[in-house]
Amino acid sequence: MSADIHSRFKFNPADFIAERSKAVDASGIRRVFDMAATMKDPVNLSIGQPDFDVPDAIKRRAIEAIEHGRNRYTPTQGIADLVKPIRQQVERDTGWKDPGVMILSGTSGGIMLSMFACLNPGDEVIFLDPYFVMYHHLPKLVGAVPVSVDSYPDFRLDAAKIEAVITPRTRMLIICSPNNPTGMAYTEAELRATAAVAKRHGLLVLSDEIYDAFCYQPHVSIASMLPDQCILLKGYSKTYAMTGWRLGYAAGPRAIIEQMIKLQQYTFVCAPSPAQYAALELLHSGTVDMTAHIDEYRRRRDRLIEGIGDLYPVGDPRGAFYLFARAPGNWSGSELVQRAVNKNLLLIPGSVFSSRDTHFRISYAASREHIEKGIEILRALAQEAQMK
Ligand SMILES: Cc1ncc(COP(=O)(O)O)c(C=O)c1O
């Protein structure tokens, strides 16, 4: 064969990247990883997971599960011993009657499956900006259209703003309370007004409550206000520091959850078996109490606000473990973050979570020592910004 024929059929992997893959942009997050890689022992206030470890009782259950051969596929919807009590818990919490429940490979799995199950090409999905990055990108994988609602400067949930962007193509509304990245936890009144909008327009609400345990006011869920019209997503990643174990659950109308189970069968197959058996520890034993950790996170939030709140407006964050602060002077969020990196402090620019580049995210899932150093550096930066 001539060299000519070979070259005509030269295989180029780049030619095989589908449009849906190209539509997802991970450059913002990658820039942060690149920055982190250049830093030695940074003061790291960028982390999106707890800095405590999995409680011992849960670890022991997982080890036992592995040693006793719980290493095989489980039913796709999850083990019955876990699904049943979760269903009862959801019924108690929401007042729903006999909802569908499935165990997920992480809450992320549930976000993906609900979009795959419920969205057609061209359907619109509404969520607040700033947003958890997946809400912006995953709709595109199914040809749906992300529609963000600007929630600056106070990041509150404003039902009227949501109603204003509803079109005949709107299908889904995502609510995340407590919120990543803003740390907001919405009030009952805000959620009721939003539920009324969802009812008026027949929208399916996806309620991502992965931070429900980290709520420094009583946690209110929109789920109880929307029987039959809501997919409730909860996770174990943040509450029990099990981010690498990949466990969460979805509850909602049976007809929808059944479709999600069908799609899980052909994608994730099931949530990790040892993690499911380990979660049984949380059901009746009373051996796991996260109160001390949650109280500590509340104190860290208070300390951060006390330390920088006079220089950096952060709204009124009452949940999760983040503050979303405005960059000082006329700096953009990215400029502030680059200058912080120069002082060995790692933060995330707000542009990763938003169409605006005016803010940055601070995580207080970090040691007291790092929080104190972070406060010092942020105060120095605010002074520099004023002097410009
Ligand atoms: C708002 C929100 N939803 C979902 C997830 C995904 O969590 P999981 O580990 O359960 O997939 C995260 C993780 O950062 C998150 O912040």
Question: pLDDT-based confidence at 387, cuts 50/70/90?
Answer: confident
Answer yes or no: is the C-beta of 248 below 6 A from any ligand 1 atom. Answer: yes
Q: Is the pLDDT of residue 47 over 60?
A: yes
Q: Which atom of ligand 1 is nearest to the CA of 236?
A: 10
Q: Three-state DSSP class for 18? A: coil
Residue 180 falls within a domain, yes or no? Answer: yes
225 and 249 inside one domain: yes
Rounded Cα distance between 24 and 112, Å, is 14
Distance CA 120, CA 56 (A): 44
Give the domain extent around 88. 72-284
For residues 233 and 340, state if they share a domain: no
- Identify the burial level of 69 via C-beta atoms within 10 angstroms of its C-beta, where 0-12 means exposed, 13-18 middle and 19 or more buried: exposed
How far apart are alpha carbons 321 and 297 in whole angstroms? 7
Q: Which of 264, 284, 304 is the last residue of a domain?
A: 284
Q: What CATH number has the domain bearing residue 109?
A: 3.40.640.10
What amino acid is encoded at 132 in this protein? F
Residue 254 belongs to some domain of the structure: yes
Tell me: pLDDT of 3 over 70: no
Residue 388 pLDDT greater than 70, yes or no: no
- The verdict on the CB of residue 49 being under 6 Å from ligand 1 is no
Shared domain for 247 and 375, answered yes or no, is: no
Edge-to-edge strand ranges of the sheet holding 359-363 = 322-326, 359-363, 348-349
Is the pLDDT score of 268 beyond 60?
Answer: yes
pLDDT (0 to 100) of residue 284? 75
Percent of the chain with pLDDT over 90: 90
1 has a pLDDT exceeding 60 = no
Residue 4 has pLDDT above 90, yes or no: no
Q: Is the same domain home to 97 and 31?
A: no
**194 and 327 part of one domain:** no
Q: Are 222 and 339 in a shared domain?
A: no
27-31, 110-114, 117-121, 328-332, range with the lowest pLDDT: 27-31
| Mutation test residue for ligand 1: of 113, 132, 233, 348, the one with most atoms within 8 Å of CB | 132
CA distance 234 to 82: 14
- pLDDT(5) > 80: no
Is 53 domain-assigned?
no
209 shares its domain with 326: no
Q: What is the CA radius of gyration of the chain?
A: 22
Rounded mean pLDDT, 315-321: 95
CA separation for the pair 48, 107 (Å, rounded): 14
Q: Do residue 137 and residue 211 come from a single domain?
A: yes
Centre of ligand 1 from the C-alpha of residue 8, in Å: 45
Closest CA to 223 of 236, 208, 207, 201: 207
Both 119 and 260 in a single domain?
Answer: yes
| Residue 332: strand, helix, or coil | coil
Average pLDDT, the chain: 95
User: Does any domain span residue 3?
Assistant: no
User: Are 110 and 237 members of one domain?
Assistant: yes
CB 82 within 8 A of CB 103: yes
Let me know if residue 107 belongs to a domain.
yes
Asked whether residue 218 falls in the same domain as residue 90, the answer is yes
- 144-169 pLDDT per residue, tens: 999 999 999 999 999 999 999 999 99
Residue 12 falls inside a structural domain: no
- Position 34 scores a pLDDT of 86
Looking at residue 232, its pLDDT comes to 98
Asked if 218 and 186 count as a contact pair (C-beta separation under 8 A), the reply is: no
Q: Where are the beta strands (DSSP E) in the chain?
A: 43-44, 100-104, 124-129, 145-150, 170-176, 204-208, 230-235, 248-252, 322-326, 345-346, 348-349, 359-363
Domain finish residue from 284, 311, 334: 284
Q: What are phi and psi of 241, to 5 degrees?
A: 55, 35
> How far is Cα 230 from Cα 232, in angstroms, rounded to an integer?
6
Is residue 210 within 6 Å of ligand 1 at its C-beta?
yes
Residue 67 lies in a domain: no
What is the pLDDT averaged over residues 31-60? 92
Torsion of Cα atoms, 159 then 165 then 170 then 175, to 10°: -40
Per the structure, the count of domains in the chain is: 2
Enumerate the β-bridge partners of residue 147.
126
30 in a structural domain: yes
pTM: 0.96
Domain ends where: 284, 300, 322?
284
Q: Is the peptide bond before 130 cis (omega within 30 degrees of 0)?
A: yes
One domain, residues 42 and 121: no
- Nearest-atom number in ligand 1 for the CA of 247 is 10
Q: What CATH number corresponds to the domain at position 366?
A: 3.90.1150.10
Report the pLDDT averaged over residues 295-309.
97
Element (H, E) at 118: helix 106-118
